[in-house]
Amino acid sequence: MDCIFCRIISGEAPGEIVYQDDEAIAFRDINPQAPTHILIMPKSHIPSIAEVEDYGLVGRLVNIANELAKREGVGERGYRLVINSGPESGQEVPHLHIHLLGGRVLGRLG
Ligand code: AMP
């Protein structure tokens, strides 16, 4: 298995896991871009949002992200959810994930 996120999910690689259930997991980004930077993803290997078939799963991942934002204390202040998909987005890890960013003023998208 050469997917780093699959290896974290299986326990073969370390990760600072903050949430998991049967189908989803969330852990802190190793290179945080904000005081709160958590990655929320399915445990099954879906390469990108462009390859999703179960849109209910996407809604459940967003629900987890919203709950984690509250738990992290950024729910009221505001936060950003980001999904990169494909080369020009800068997606580095081809395992669908939502970035939860918060805890500082986030710049305009560009
Ligand atoms: P993306 O560019 O959307 O694919 O985002 C990939 C993210 O995964 C980046 O923010 C990386 O810092 C993060 N990342 C890469 N390897 C690890 C790892 N082993 N543990 C936690 N986060 C990671």
Q: What is the largest CA-CA distance in the chain?
A: 39
Task: Give dist(CA 68, CA 60) in Å, integer.
Answer: 12
Q: Please check whether the domain covering 4-102 is classified as CATH 3.40.50.20.
A: no
Spacing, Cα 86 to ligand 1 middle (Å): 14
Task: Give dist(CA 26, CA 40) in Å, integer.
Answer: 4
Active site residue 97: yes
pLDDT band at 4 (very low <50, low <70, confident <90, very high): very high
Closest atom of ligand 1 to 93 CA is: 4
Query: Mean pLDDT over residues 63-77, rounded?
Result: 97
Region of residue 71 (phi > 0: left; psi between -120 and 50: alpha; otherwise: beta): alpha
pLDDT band at 22 (very low <50, low <70, confident <90, very high): very high
Catalytic-role residue among 45, 95, 97, 99: 97
Closest atom of ligand 1 to 84 CA is: 3
pLDDT, residue 85, reads: 98
Single out the residue of 110, 102, 105 nearest to residue 35, CA to CA: 102
pLDDT tens for 91-106 read: 999 999 999 999 999 9
Task: Give dist(CA 26, CA 23) in Å, integer.
Answer: 11
pLDDT, residue 110, reads: 75
